[in-house]
Amino acid sequence: MVETRQLDPLVLGRRLRHFRNEAGLTLDRLGERVGKPAPYLSLLENGKKEPRLNLVVDLASALDVEVSDLLDGTPPSRRDSLEITLLRSQETALFQSLDLPAVKPSAKMSTETLAHIVGLHEALRDKSSLDSAGSEDVRRANGAVHGYLVDNDGYLENVEGAAREALTASGYTGEGPFSSLGVRSGTDRRHARVRPINH
């Protein structure tokens, strides 16, 4: 017997939507057949809820399909596959590190545009060492950084050198912290440009 915890909620939701549309049913009509409100079924279709197996059986019966049709782990179409890939890509540590807003794959977005965005995500992942790092990978990386800082008493010589060169290029000769006001006034007066730092 297949346990609901083994299901992929996103794929199940897309398959549910696919068969509902094929049956020509609205969420309200399907809800009447299985005794569930339309908003709940909408959450199922968007992978936000994981149904109990008895509800999957009821849904299959209401849609006149086999239970195995709903539990199949394959997205029902290329479009669904692309949308699922995009949603999962935006949950990775790599995407979170970019500090970019998530893109919702709405019906208004063309399949060509969606494929382009997914392709960019995959290319970025392939070129990045962060890849699809999970929480354990992030914890290990943080531990390594912490250890490095401890070993060096929190002093990063290369960062200190880069900061010194940037201050010199800006014309700052004072003591203490260099405020953002100093950055603005310094560049306004001297039109100073920080030259690239070669490592």
Q: What is the mean pLDDT of residues 67-95?
A: 93
Whether residues 132 and 176 share a domain: the answer is no
Q: What is the mean pLDDT of residues 50-79?
A: 95
Q: Answer whether 51's CB lies under 8 Å from 59's CB.
A: yes
Whole-model pTM?
0.58
pLDDT at 137: 60
Whether residues 67 and 106 share a domain: the answer is no
* Domain that residue 114 falls in: 78-155
pLDDT at 106: 86
Query: In the predicted model, what is the mean pLDDT of the chain?
Result: 81
**DSSP of 67-134, one letter per residue?**
HHHHH-SS-SSHHHHHHHHHHHHTTSHHHHHTT-PPPP--TTS-HHHHHHHHHHHHHHHHH-SSTT--
Structurally, the chain folds into a number of domains equal to 3
pLDDT in tens, 29-49: 999 999 999 999 999 999 999
pLDDT at 180: 55
